[in-house]
Structure 1
Amino acid sequence: MTNDKYYITEVDKDNTSIYCHHDLMGELLIPLHTHCKAQFLYVEGGIAYVKTQKNTYFLPARHYMWIPPAVEHSIHPNSEDVMMRNLYFPVEKNDLDFYDEEAIYPVNDLLLNLLLFTNRWKGNLKPDKRNYVIAKALKVLLPEVSGTNLSLSLPIAKDSRLIKITDYITNHLSDNITFSGLANQFGLSTRTLHRIFVKDMGMSFIQFFTISRMLKAVELLQNKEMQVSDVALAVGYNSLPTFSNTFYRILRQRPSEYANGRNILE
């Protein structure tokens, strides 16, 4: 699939409009691209990975990602059945700093209800139309209702040693990996491993390991094929309360709440 065949070529044709596009993904890749408008991206029915130059973001159902203008990114859904809602907003002179940061936030009932209004919209929403006013209201509300930017991203390793190590961690999330054991396995001192983690990733090993586990847990909960206790074990937690508290710290909701959350696009 190439960009000239995809709707993203239409986003910036009218620089005064809010552009709206809702659809099943139908593809497993939206290739690397950029646009002059900011993007509000909401998904259901699966998970989307959004890759920028700095990070790989993990966008689960009932969350949205704000992508500022001119940020180069690609989108990788985990299924062709992922439903995607996009609103693209032109930049305005009085925009708050909130709109300058790429970030992921949970969607509350107010935003869900506003999204329902957009159900039948497609293409350019003109400033003199009612649907434009509703979409603009959604944007204006975001800084007020979005709460804390969730840590649902992982930096991309560049150091060749760290690429192998992070790949190993990702493939062994249920294992009891220790920092000293990991350093020994890959022939590094703990001091060296800590240094390259912080320098290359901007976070410690335990931060990377914990977030990786929670992102895998979100994926398993989204599939609705496992009990919360089984998901905890699958990502290396023998204690359900510890797993629940860690999940809450990162996603601001309990795993049971996430597993039972309602979709609006079904």
Structure 2
Amino acid sequence: MPKSTIPFVQCAKNFRDGTIDLRNYGQFNTEMHAHEQVQVLSPTNGTLFIYTEKASFCVPSTFYVYIPAHVPHKLISRSQQLSIKTIFLDMNNMHEEVKVYPSNELLNHFLTFGQQYWKLKDHDMLTTATLEALKAMLPILLAKPILLQITPAKSELMIRVSTYILQHLDNKLSIAEISAKFFLSERTLFRQFKEEMQITIFQFIKQHRLLKALQLLENKDMHIAEIVYQIGYESVPNFSNLFKEYFGLSPQQYRARL
């Protein structure tokens, strides 16, 4: 579905400390907005994309994303069954930037407990105690972010190069082919790409092939081997190893969580 036709969702800005919001969104798009509280979100049944003024981030199903207070951001989903669990916390920022983390079972249990008991009037002391415990433990629970940040191209040349790569992920891309396409030496392309995009051209290709795989895995009728060929790889075992190295679980394990 083109971005222009994705339903627009208005975001509330203020919530009570410890509010846990669980909603089915499907495909949606928000305005750029900010909250006065720290947010921790976890999508299920699809992939969530978060855009800030500096970068964009991909959040796979059951992973977590930390959004600091007062950081402008917008959310986009192209997944038809996407749900999002969000907790709003009155606390100092752990970081000043958005960060993405793997799924965390203990944090899952904390939020499940909060959903069941924090709204009950006769559990005020329990709510306060467990909420403060969660805030104290959050830097430990979310200690190891993973690199799912996508830095946008700025120059006309890098916009053209990155667009070409994204349009040909199913091909056997090489730096020789790409540099010839844009009349650059391989060394110049490699250097300029890394300076502007903050990752090498090889890392960019791998990152976007794996992000495309996330979206293709949502179609459970598509075999893993078919996905592998659609993102430009030839070996299912090699793809599975790369996927697990990047996301911490195999393609089959990820699909089982959708």
Same-fold call, TM > 0.5?
yes
Task: Name the residue aligned to 2:177.
Answer: 181
Q: Which runs of 5+ in 1 are unaligned?
A: none
Within a 5 Å distance, the mapping from 1:8-87 to structure 2 comes to 8-11=12-15, 17-25=17-25, 28-79=28-79, 81-87=81-87
Distance 1:164 1:132, change over 3 A: farther
Quick check: 1:172 aligned with 2:175? no
Task: Name the residue aligned to 2:228.
Answer: 232
Structure 1 counterpart of 2:32, one-letter code: L
Deviation of 1:122 after TM superposition, in Å, equals: 9.3
Distance 1:142 1:224, change over 3 A: farther
Quick check: 1:6 aligned with 2:10? yes
Task: Name the residue aligned to 1:220.
Answer: 216
Q: What SS does the corresponding residue of 2:21 show, helix, strand or coil?
A: strand
CA distance in 2, matches of 1:7, 1:132: 26
Between 175-184 and 73-82, the greater mean CA deviation after superposition = 73-82
Deviation of 1:118 after TM superposition, in Å, equals: 3.6
The answer (yes or no) to whether the contact 1:18–1:132 under 8 Å persists in 2 is no
Task: Name the residue aligned to 2:3.
Answer: none
Within a 5 Å distance, the mapping from 1:113-132 to structure 2 comes to 113-119=109-115, 128=124, 130-132=126-128
CA distance in 2, matches of 1:33, 1:121: 29
Of 99, 105, 111, 2:107 maps to: 111
The answer (yes or no) to whether the contact 1:107–1:146 under 8 Å persists in 2 is no
Normalising by structure 1, report the TM-score: 0.83
Q: What SS does the corresponding residue of 2:75 show, helix, strand or coil?
A: strand
Q: Which runs of 5+ in 2 are unaligned?
A: 1-5
CA distance in 1, matches of 2:205, 2:28: 26
Structure 2 counterpart of 1:87, one-letter code: I
Of 147, 156, 168, 2:152 maps to: 156
Distance 1:138 1:174, change over 3 A: farther
Task: Name the residue aligned to 1:198.
Answer: 194
CA distance in 2, matches of 1:161, 1:103: 28
Q: What SS does the corresponding residue of 1:173 show, helix, strand or coil?
A: coil
CA distance in 2, matches of 1:203, 1:242: 22
Structure 2 counterpart of 1:142, one-letter code: L
Deviation of 1:121 after TM superposition, in Å, equals: 8.0
Deviation of 1:71 after TM superposition, in Å, equals: 1.5
**Paired residues, number:** 250
What is the aligned-residue RMSD (CA, Å)? 2.7
The answer (yes or no) to whether the contact 1:56–1:154 under 8 Å persists in 2 is yes
Between 66-75 and 129-138, the greater mean CA deviation after superposition = 129-138
Normalising by structure 2, report the TM-score: 0.85
Deviation of 1:110 after TM superposition, in Å, equals: 1.9
The answer (yes or no) to whether the contact 1:155–1:201 under 8 Å persists in 2 is yes
CA deviations 1:23-61 (Å, max 9, x no partner) are: 122661111011221110111121110011222111111
Q: What SS does the corresponding residue of 2:106 show, helix, strand or coil?
A: helix
Distance 1:193 1:140, change over 3 A: same
Moved over 4 A (4+): 120-123
The answer (yes or no) to whether the contact 2:194–2:200 under 8 Å persists in 1 is yes
Deviation of 1:102 after TM superposition, in Å, equals: 1.9
Between 112-121 and 222-231, the greater mean CA deviation after superposition = 112-121
Structure 1 counterpart of 2:43, one-letter code: V
Structure 1 counterpart of 2:170, one-letter code: S
